[in-house]
Amino acid sequence: MRKLITFVGSTLVAIGLLSGMTVAADDARVMQEKQAAEMVDTTAYKKDGPYKIGVAAGYMGNSWVVFTLQHIRYEASLHDEITEVLVTDAAFNPTKQVADIEDLISKGVDLILYWPVDDKAIEGALQKAKEKGIPTINTGGGFVDSPSVTASVFIDQWNLGEMVARRLFQDMGGKGKIFAMLPIAGTTAAVDQLAALKEVMKEYPDIELLTAEYGDWNRAKAKQITENLLQKYPEIDGVFSPAGQMSIGVAEAFDEAGRLGEVVMSPGDEYNGWLKWVRANNQGGAVTFPTRVGQESLRLGMRILRGESVRKGMKVPSEYISPGAAGVYAEMDRPDDWWASELPEEWKPQ
């Protein structure tokens, strides 16, 4: 009887902790929605053109950011008052991104769009921009609530992760062992995607997370990591990988190990190599990660420079596309390192 009471007591404690964690996660989501809905007074940034736009890229080493930058350049071409777009590449180095932002400030840019290597590392540099009267817009990452960031134009990484996880678990029949392939460690994208995955796992007690790895949005790195995991784990039933660039590397590793038939791949995104794989294998599908976030970011920046009040967070929504429908978006005559996008043909990367 004492053992039974102890077990029941422990179970109640565990249930209480689980409920507390769920409430905490829900509270965080509600808080983020509230923060994103706040209106920003931009009168301090109002100025007449011409404008010089700065883009502080945390990295340019993957095709998604190349397409995102092209969206920025395309939107700039539609505004006669924009005379120049200056672009820096930190090459995944947070220290260099700090220096890049400071360099853009010294060159007299009127607006800074950026995607981070590490959000915390660049806060001080972004604050310097703010003190110089230069608005800063987080472009494409998760929502950032920071005094140094004027606004975020973001893809909701938590919502994306939740959609990907639910579809994966449904396709797996609600049970099995998985690993997660996430983007750059420490970024909002990686943190929110993992949090969403773990939140959905609470509804699927028969799903086991073996490990969470970071492939840096890099196909080759994701493949190498997966090769090591295949050596370590004799049973892997599913892969949570929202980024198609990494998903195709993961799938290649399974295929070359002769184990592709045993794994269920989650939805990826609009990366062309992944869409080709979806078309050939009729599984996975896509949850969109729109490259037009770059264009939306510059549009918001122009509103700020006109002194218009804007929301602190502007969400560019993701959508689920089934495997059958996703295959239609595959451009078979284009390279794998390509993205389905709404860019005019002349503005697509050459």
Reference 316, options 338, 292, 298, 343; nearest CA is 292
Reference 249, options 297, 214, 282, 296; nearest CA is 214
- Whole-number pLDDT of residue 25: 52
Residue owning tokens 């409920």: 19
Fold designation for 157-287: Rossmann fold (3.40.50)
**What tokens appear for 157 in the block?**
């990484």
In contact, 240 and 165? CB cutoff 8 Å: yes
CA–CA separation, 249 and 214 (whole Å): 13
Fold designation for 37-155+290-318: Rossmann fold (3.40.50)
CA–CA separation, 294 and 72 (whole Å): 5
- Whole-number pLDDT of residue 26: 61
- Whole-number pLDDT of residue 104: 98
- Whole-number pLDDT of residue 106: 98
- Whole-number pLDDT of residue 28: 67
Question: pTM of this prediction?
Answer: 0.80
In contact, 265 and 242? CB cutoff 8 Å: no
The ranges assigned to domains in the chain are: 37-155+290-318, 157-287
CA–CA separation, 2 and 162 (whole Å): 41
Task: Please tell me whether residue 38 adopts helix, strand or coil conformation.
Answer: coil
CA–CA separation, 7 and 12 (whole Å): 9
Q: How far is CA 111 from the centre of its chain?
A: 22
- Whole-number pLDDT of residue 37: 85
Helix boundaries (H) for the chain: 2-37, 63-77, 94-106, 123-131, 157-171, 188-201, 219-232, 244-256, 272-281, 293-305, 323-329
Q: How far is CA 227 from the centre of its chain?
A: 24
DSSP line for 203-230: T-TTEEEEEEEE-TT-HHHHHHHHHHHH
CA–CA separation, 269 and 161 (whole Å): 12
* Fold matches, 37-155+290-318 and 157-287: yes
The CA distances from residue 93 to 57, 86, 138, 245, in Å, are 10, 19, 17, 21
- What is the dihedral angle through the alpha carbons of 96, 97, 100, 106, rounded to the nearest 10 degrees? -120
Mean pLDDT by groups of 10 residues along the chain of 350 residues: 34 39 58 86 96 97 92 98 98 97 98 94 97 96 87 93 97 98 89 95 98 95 98 98 96 98 97 95 94 97 97 94 89 93 92
